[in-house]
Amino acid sequence: MSSTKNPENLVPQSAGLTTVAAQAAQGSALAGPVPAEPTEVYDVVVVGGGPAGENVAQYATQGTSLTVALVEGELLGGECAYYACMPSKALLRPLEVAAASRNLPGLTAAQPSANGLLERRDQWTSRYDDAGQLRWAQSLGIEVLRGWGRLVGERRVAVSGPAGVRLVEARHAVVLATGSRPVVPPPLRDVAAWDSRDVTAVKDVPERLVIVGGGVVACEAATWMTALGSKVTMVVRGGRLLATSEPFASQLVEKALTDLGVRVVTGLQVESCTRDEVAPAPELGRIHGGPLRVQGGGGVLEADEVLVATGRRPALEGLGLESVGLTAQDVTSGNLPQWLHAVGDASGRNPLTHMGKYQARVIGERIAALAAGRTPEEVPEIVPVPRVVFTDPQVAASGLTEAQARAQGLDVVTATVPYTSAAGAALLRDDAHGQAMLVVDRASRTLVGATFVGPEAGEMIHAATIAIVGRVPVELLRHAVPAYPTASEIWLRLVESLPAELLHPAQD
């Protein structure tokens, strides 16, 4: 039996729900006795309606007669749409355009306004209303169940909502797409520090903001919080920002942030943090109490708010894994029974929206194929991970860094050129600068990684991803002619900088 449209399903249960802590608390508070027998049966049940959950629901059922339930405890669209990618990029893009306008003679320089930026953020997060996502799901025949899901047995999911607990059964597959939650190091746990939700939903702009962490969230947030008026200090425990990027990318981003007025302190581990008054606000983006003192390395930093940006971990707590004899480790290592899958951040792999959506497409199509008795399609052995840090300059990379390639035992050669080595890149803005690098495997003469740092670098990286997936030999890349005068001519400069024996193997 498949469920009919239930009006209760259509009511968002998350109105007013804000923080990650509140999210977890709501999930457990709604737990209650589980019915003995399923009240609804679907072919596929997806727990978590972020981008990965939405995509797996779509791809498992489109073009089939399979039914799917998408269980969401908060807002359909997930972290990405309301608290992560969308608000952060809505804030960052005008800043990049304004900076470009200051460096394009002939234009009157654009001046960002704090209110205008926050209004744009609110528009791009649909003012935290998921009605549009719900319409999308309904248009595809996806049944949205509002509530918190947890496994209670093989192919069985209990969904806890205000009206009680329903037991839903999946004929073919259950997919965990519950996303991830921020990790808060012990010294910062008792001060109601901001996390990425607060900083993307910022309403109160703290005069002095300390950001702990030197990764992607930290670098992007430092950019928009400085523009909004905060005096930002970044506390980075390692030796450089964006530690998993090519070292030149770290240097260029540190210089850019410093030029904006951000203080970047590297090699400093936070040892303790105290706050005069801890007063978590009822809504996101408000300052959570009195001034703070962040201590470490014998020094003290005073702040009006502290943002913890020290990574995320898969949201697998309270999901009832033990009811089917599994642990979180089984999920992240892919050690799952055939009826159970994990996609997106919950899987513990590549916590990026586009990679979660890719995984969801692959697993969704696999579920549909198996349900129809077909053999699922093969996926390529090498699928590089593209990633873009939306600082100014942007950092865009795909595949392996040089260090990662060498650590895998590859004999690689690199080509590096200035970003402005192509007229089209230099034309983008008069302060254009940066660097581009290819990492090429000598044995196969194919690209294994690329990094571009410069204006609009994010638009340059897909060519690298295609070359890596397609295993295009570099001698063939010479014949991929970029248009003049576009920034893509950097590709020409890079390929020409490779050793002659790679470009002309026939002459060896």
- Position among 214, 289, 296, 454 found at the interface with ligand NAD (CB under 6 A): 214
Which residues between 367 and 396 bind ligand NAD (CB under 6 A)?
387-390
Could you give the 3-state DSSP secondary structure of residue 472? coil
Fill in the DSSP letter of residue 14: T
How many chain residues touch ligand FAD (CB under 6 A)?
39
Residue 449 touches ligand FAD, criterion: CB under 6 A: no
Selected range binding ligand NAD among 45-53, 306-314, 361-369, 407-415, rule: CB under 6 A: 306-314
Residue 356 touches ligand FAD, criterion: CB under 6 A: yes
Pick the closer one to ligand FAD by CB: 84 or 395.
84
Choose among ligand NAD, ligand FAD, none what residue 237 binds, the Cβ cut-off being 5 to 8 Å by kind. ligand NAD
Could you give the 3-state DSSP secondary structure of residue 234? strand
CA-to-CA dists, residue 249 to 162, 178, 259, 462, angstroms: 48, 32, 15, 18
- Position among 44, 58, 73, 488 found at the interface with ligand FAD (CB under 6 A): 73
Buried b (16+ CB within 10 A) or exposed e, 2-33: ebeeeeebeebbbeebbbbebbbebbeebeee
List, as one string, the DSSP characters of 173-220. EEEE---EEE---GGGTTTT-B-HHHHHT--S--SEEEEE--SHHHHH
Closest separation in Å from C-beta 305 to ligand NAD: 17
Choose among ligand FAD, ligand NAD, none what residue 41 binds, the Cβ cut-off being 5 to 8 Å by kind. none
Choose among ligand FAD, ligand NAD, none what residue 240 binds, the Cβ cut-off being 5 to 8 Å by kind. none
Cβ–Cβ under 8 Å, residues 303 and 194: no
Backbone angles phi, psi at 222, to 5 degrees: -60, -35
**DSSP run (H or E) holding 344:** none
Backbone angles phi, psi at 265, to 5 degrees: -110, 110
- Position among 344, 399, 449, 455 found at the interface with ligand FAD (CB under 6 A): 344
Selected range binding ligand FAD among 69-77, 97-105, 284-292, 471-479, rule: CB under 6 A: 69-77
The CA distance from 247 to 252, in Å, is: 9
Closest separation in Å from C-beta 348 to ligand NAD: 11
Tokens of 52: 């990965």
Cβ–Cβ under 8 Å, residues 307 and 226: no
Closest separation in Å from C-beta 85 to ligand FAD: 4
Residue 294 touches ligand NAD, criterion: CB under 6 A: no
The full length of the chain comes to 508
Strand duo 312-314 + 446-454: pairing: unpaired
Q: Which residues bind ligand FAD (CB under 6 A)?
A: 27, 47-53, 71-74, 78-80, 84-85, 88-89, 148-150, 177-180, 196, 200, 217, 315, 319, 344-346, 351-354, 356
Q: Which residues bind ligand NAD (CB under 6 A)?
A: 185, 212-218, 220, 236-238, 243, 309-312, 351-352, 387-390
